[in-house]
């Protein structure tokens, strides 16, 4: 699995988990959509950085590392965007 595919998957997961709440909480739908896109872009960047670091350290990225990277990316995204991610 490549970093970009994993990043897309995690970003989609965030959209499904909190996307509606982010959009509903924003002053306008357009602002909510922009904020959601920022969250998705951020999570893709986190995944790419962690994936690259794992690959450099271990040479390969196994299933356990993929799960850890995914969970870390979601957690970091919710911490950075905590006001938008509150349900």
* Residue range of the domain that includes 25: 3-85
Predicted confidence pLDDT, tens digits, the chain (87 residues): 588 999 999 999 999 999 999 999 999 999 999 999 999 999 999 999 999 999 999 888 999 999 999 999 999 999 998 776 554
Secondary structure of 41-65 in HEC code, one letter for each residue: HHHHHHHHHHHHHHHHHHCCCCHHH
pTM of the model: 0.86
- Count of the separate structural domains present in the chain: 1
Q: Which residues of 19-34 are buried (b: 16+ CB within 10 A; e: fewer)?
A: beebbebbeeeeebee
Distance CA 7, CA 44 (A): 4
């Amino acid at each position: 699995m490549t970093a970009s595919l994993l990043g897309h998957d995690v970003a989609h997961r965030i959209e499904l988990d909190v996307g509606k709440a982010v959009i509903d909480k924003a002053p306008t739908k357009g602002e909510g959509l922009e904020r959601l896109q920022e969250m998705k872009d951020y999570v893709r960047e986190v995944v790419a950085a962690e994936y690259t670091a794992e690959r450099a350290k271990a040479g390969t990225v196994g299933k356990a590392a993929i799960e850890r990277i995914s969970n870390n990316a979601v957690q970091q995204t919710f911490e950075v965007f905590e006001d938008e991610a509150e349900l």
